[in-house]
Amino acid sequence: MKAFTYERPGSAAEAAAAAVRTPGAKFIAGGTNLLDLMKLQIETPTHLVDVNNIGLDRIEPTDQGGLRIGALVRNTDLAADPRIRRDYGVLSRAIVSGASGQLRNKATTAGNLLQRTRCPYFYDTDMPCNKRAPGSGCAAIGGLNANHAILGASEACIATHPSDMAVAMRALDANVETVAPSGASRSIPIADLHRLPGKTPHVETMLEPGELIAAVTLPKPRGGVQLYRKVRERASYAFATVSVALIAKIEEGRVTVDRLAFGGLAHKPWRVEQAERAVAGSDAAADSIADIVLAGARPAEQNAYKLPLVRRTLSATLEHAREGASR
């Protein structure tokens, strides 16, 4: 760990200003990802701006009938909130499927959105990685890539985004509210927050330097059956090979897809609105949705199994919705 300085401001605006005052500064909240990366010297901030003292730790109703989730709300608290459990079940289910209880107790809403990828080559500082060392190459291409992206990847990076929470937020059309060092605030649709890797996989979001996530807002509840199905190699504490966030309406045994997003497939939570529109109002068939979602899929050497897995998992999830089962 390189030596660094530290401060703990008292407001979001102060924190954003502090982050640009010192070149190489980073925000720290729960630290569940940043501290690991600092120990491995993958992240070497010169200065830490601790945002644990800026408030923003409440879940409050919005004027539009939705909820505003403070950036510092812990994952455990968010998943357990009665309003979230009642009206945004897909989000609660997604969060509790992620990480471990200990990590969720520490991890924050904003930190979860901004966690770095779990590609093992990103974590090995002796390996090339365009995300860690831009221009050094991507070791995952041609290497071990069984759990890497099949959609939206590039020649520079085939990592997947690790968050389950973000997949549910993508399905829910969440917005991310930020504060800039100037004090200006803006609202970013979650679809636009994360970037595809392109030629610059080290630039993971569209946030500007010093821009701090203050809250995530959820629109008014959509109702319906809300499911999150995470497929993984062990029962807990494993990253998704594929995950499905589904909001569906059930009428007379017919399942109509309202919102659908996937995890484990791409560099960001993956949602294809065109697929939702294509099956709108009709009894959903996994194949017709998957054909559209997977149209541009380009598997790497070891992850083509994700193509049938997406279809099968989607089919099973639609059946669960039909049965009214919750999982």
Partner 1 sequence: MIGAGINRIDGPLKVTGRAAYSYERQDAGQPFYGFIRGAAIGKGKIAGIDTAEAEAAPGVRLVLTHRNVPKQGAFVNKPTIFDRPHPQLTSDRIEYFGEPVAFVVADTFERARAAAALVKVTYAREDGAFDLANHADRAEPQATLSIGLPGETRFGDLEAAMSAGPVTIDQTYTTPYHFSQPMEPHACLADWRDDHLTVYLATQTVAQNRIALAETLGLAADQVTVDAAFVGGGFGSKLYLHAEAVLAALAARELAHPVKVALTRRQVFTLTGHRPEMIHRVRLAATSDGQLTGLGHDVNLQAAVAEPWIEQAATVARSLYAAPNRLTRHSITNLDLKAAEAVRGPGELPGLLAFETAMDELANALDVDPVELRLKNDTAIDPELGVPLNGRRLADCLREGAKRFGWGQRPKTPGSRREGDHLVGYGMAVGIRMHFQGATGAVVRIDPDGRVIVRSDTPDIGTGTYTIAGQIAAEALGIGVNRVTVQLAHSDFPPSAGAGGSWGASNLSIAIDLACQKIRNKIVEAAGPGAAPNDILADVGRWFPEGVEATGQTIGQADDPNFKNYSQNTYGAAFAEVAVDIATGEVRLRRMTGVFAAGRIINAKTARSQLMGGMIWGVSSALHEAAHVDPRHGNWVNGDLAEYLMPVHADIPAIETVLLDDYDEHANHLGIKGVGELGVCGTGAAVSNAVFNATGIRVRDFPITLSKLLSGLPPMRTAA
Are 298 and 157 in contact by the 8 Å Cβ rule? The answer is no
Closest to partner 1 by CB, 54 vs 138, is 138
- Rg of the chain, C-alpha, whole Å: 19
Q: State which of residues 32, 33, 226, 313 lies at the interface with partner 1 (CB under 8 A).
A: 313
**Contact between 155 and partner 1 per CB under 8 A:** no
Are 163 and 78 in contact by the 8 Å Cβ rule? The answer is no
Are 225 and 250 in contact by the 8 Å Cβ rule? The answer is yes
Are 244 and 260 in contact by the 8 Å Cβ rule? The answer is yes
**Contact between 231 and partner 1 per CB under 8 A:** yes
Among positions 161-220, residues that touch partner 1 (CB under 8 A) are: none
Among positions 25-84, residues that touch partner 1 (CB under 8 A) are: 40-41
Are 159 and 117 in contact by the 8 Å Cβ rule? The answer is yes
**Contact between 223 and partner 1 per CB under 8 A:** no
Distance CA 25, CA 19 (A): 5
Where helices occur in 190-302 by DSSP H, the ranges are 190-193, 273-278, 286-293
**Contact between 292 and partner 1 per CB under 8 A:** no
Tell me phi and psi for residue 316, to 5 degrees: -65, -40
Residue span binding partner 1 (CB under 8 A) among the ranges 47-55, 63-71, 196-204, 225-233? 225-233
Closest to partner 1 by CB, 144 vs 188, is 144
317's tokens: 């999830």
Minimum CB distance to partner 1, residue 41 (Å): 6
Parallel, antiparallel or unpaired: strands 67-70 and 212-218: antiparallel
Minimum CB distance to partner 1, residue 2 (Å): 6
Minimum CB distance to partner 1, residue 188 (Å): 29
Which residues are near partner 1 by CB under 8 A?
1-3, 40-41, 100, 118, 120-121, 123-124, 126-127, 139, 142-144, 146, 231-238, 241-242, 282-288, 290, 305, 308-309, 311-316, 319
